[in-house]
Amino acid sequence: MPVYEYTGLNSSGKTLKGIIDADSTVVARQKLRGDGIFPVDVKETVSKMKGIHSDSASFFRRVKPKDIYAFTRQLSTLLGAGVPLIASLDGLLSQSSNQILKKTIAQIKESVNQGNSLASSLSQHPKSFSNLYVNMVHSGETSGSLDIVLERLAEFGENQQALRGRFKAALAYPVFMSLIGVLVLFFLITFIVPNITKVFIEMHHALPLPTLMLIKTSNFMLSFWWVIVLILIGVIVAVKQGMKRPKFHYIWDKIKLISPVFGAINQKIALVQFGRALGSLIQSGVPLLSSMQIVRNIVNNALIAGVIDNAVEEVREGQSLADSLSRSPWFPPMAVQMISIGEQSGELEGMLSKIADNNEREVESSIMALTSMLEPIMILAMGLIVGFVVISILLPIFEMNQMIR
């Protein structure tokens, strides 16, 4: 449903500005008149991109997670200060600069105005609000502690974003330098080397093996560079299509967990997501089994999701969560022991948060160690390739020099 931005006058002649959700401009004006506002100007907030359908436009302008969690924290603050829900949404609506988020908030407000709960209204926007988010809000509404639950949600989301941000920041420099190095080598071998080796070929002398290898590689890349590009594109497309198939997705997730260097990091990241999400849900009053069913989709790994599914069934049959998880190789003994202590002491959510904190620190340490190793490895690899190119060019020159003597 479109969202319209309006300027109008109330019965006292005071100018009012705001947002209204309606099927058309005419309906928006009728709604405003029904609320006692005389509309002066009514226009759609999300303009349609020329030649592109509005759904396609929204695809390119998705609401960023940081905007969602900023909205969550602001809503928590307003509710905690005693501002009613509708008035809080109204205030956030007028402050938001993101047009897609503004439209979403307007639709949520309209749904709440019609008598729906906030959780039910949020569930109508699954691309912006996850299952975990909706269930925690539902629990907060049921228990009468919505502001506290929203604050926990904001903290949970900000922690997740911070972890992803640190991971990306740590890998940004090595990835950037690798890309620059590959491009420089490609340019060197494809365009510079042929001009130099052309002299050797015209002399009709037997060339050393490294020089022959360099010439063959250079000729292949010069003639068939487009084949390399097509292969890379084909691999990317094949992987993306394969990820839609459960079997391929399962194999890929297994590779992520058993790979020599990144496997341990991926396992710890999954434990951070598991501990943080499950602890937040239980602390918000969501039952354990329901919480686990929600968390299985957050860990984003088919193998760990399968372990959680088995644990749900075993817990339903009366076993403890720790016993169920202890049979999995992806949950280390220390984490299982902490969960067991949490179950026995009645402080499961606290222990899950500690598991998340511990593994988050280990992930940061592992990433720092990894990036510190990647830099010298990249320099060494680049040095070996450049050294091979230099030696391949110098060897024929040395041989010719010896012949002249």
In this structure, the strands spanning 3-9 and 15-21 are antiparallel
Task: Let me know: does 100 contact 189? Beta carbons within 8 Å.
Answer: no
DSSP 309-339: HHHHHHHHTT--HHHHHHT-TTS-HHHHHHH
Distinct helix (H) and strand (E) counts, the chain:
17, 3
Taking the C-alpha atoms of residue 156 and residue 274, their distance in angstroms, rounded to an integer, is 12
Structure confidence at residue 405 (pLDDT): 55
Give, as one character, the DSSP assignment of residue 189: I
Task: Let me know: does 23 contact 1? Beta carbons within 8 Å.
Answer: yes
Taking the C-alpha atoms of residue 101 and residue 129, their distance in angstroms, rounded to an integer, is 11
Burial 264-290 (b: 16+ CB within 10 A, else e): ebbbbbbbbbbbbbbbbbbbbbbebee
Contacts of 113 (CB under 8 A, 6+ apart): 86
What mean pLDDT comes out for the span 301-322? 90
What mean pLDDT comes out for the span 219-245? 85
Taking the C-alpha atoms of residue 342 and residue 76, their distance in angstroms, rounded to an integer, is 28
% of the chain exceeding 70 in pLDDT:
92
SS3 assignment, position 285: coil
Task: Quick: pLDDT tens for 177-205.
Answer: 888 888 888 888 877 778 777 777 777 67
List C-alpha distances in Å: 221 to 138, 179, 190, 296: 59, 17, 6, 46
| Least confident range of 9-18, 22-31, 47-56, 58-67 | 47-56
Quote the distance between the C-alpha of residue 311 and its chain's center: 26
Task: Quick: pLDDT tens for 376-385.
Answer: 888 888 888 8
